[in-house]
Amino acid sequence: MGATVKELGGPVDVLVNNAGLALGAPACFHDQSIADITTMVQTNMSGVLFAAHAALNQGGMVVQKRGTIVNVTSVTALEAPPFPGEAVYHMAKAAQEGFSNALRNELCGTNIKVVVVRPGVVATNFHEQRVGFDQQKYSQFMEGYEPLVSDDVADAISWVLEKPERVVIKALDVVPTAQRSLSVFDREWNARNAK
């Protein structure tokens, strides 16, 4: 990872660390394969750590004493997911939160910001994969409300990055209006807001 950052040839001002992978659902943890568990841990935890390490070192953030690391975690980092098969994903996202908080403290004495953005339900293949690409289960999960799209999350990250040097948004939850919590959805939202 560090070699790749060096090849880019310039300082890294912003790292958007967006590692998220959930495999094996809806199988419960004890029924998941060690291979799937290992892949999720390597992607969701090691990937975040190695990318941040590379941005700080080979990317020059530490030398410049400035930059922003945006770790895209999930609202599942703070609440246990209501779905079977998400124990490893939940653990990894909670670990990303802990890492972000500790790293922010370790970078005291610099102007390097460490930010967490926690998306809720986003219409990507992540949720399709989570239900084993079963279109009926996916449709049931998305029924009655409008999920976020990737541009919504990108807009939130841009908003965080636009803040002046003296301001940091340490954490930001970005969820569909209908997503009241991790397990409560207003499934009448679309009908009520139809134009």
Over residues 73-109, the pLDDT tens digits come to 999 999 888 778 889 999 999 999 999 999 999 999 9
Q: Flag whether pLDDT at 152 surpasses 70.
A: yes
Q: Tell whether 180 is covered by a domain.
A: yes
Q: Tell whether 7 is covered by a domain.
A: no
User: What local confidence, expressed as pLDDT, does residue 23 receive?
Assistant: 87
Q: Tell whether 2 is covered by a domain.
A: no
The answer to whether residue 138 is catalytic is: no
User: Bridge-partner residues for 179, per DSSP?
Assistant: 185
With a pLDDT cut of 70, the percent of the chain lying above it is 98
Stretch 147-162: mean pLDDT, rounded? 98
Catalytic residue (choose from 83, 89, 145, 185): 89
Q: Tell whether 8 is covered by a domain.
A: no
Give pTM, 2 decimals: 0.92
Q: Tell whether 169 is covered by a domain.
A: yes
Contact of 23 with 73, CB cutoff 8 Å: no
Crossing angle (nearest 10°) for helices 87-106 and 47-56: 20
The CATH number given to whatever domain includes residue 19 is: 3.40.50.720
Q: Tell whether 1 is covered by a domain.
A: no
Exposed, middle or buried by CB within 10 Å (0-12, 13-18, 19+), for 143?
exposed
Query: Which of 59-73, 152-166, 170-184 is predicted least confidently?
Result: 170-184
Q: Flag whether pLDDT at 1 surpasses 70.
A: no
Q: Flag whether pLDDT at 2 surpasses 80.
A: no
The number of domains in the chain is 1
Residue range(s) defining the domain that contains residue 35: 13-192
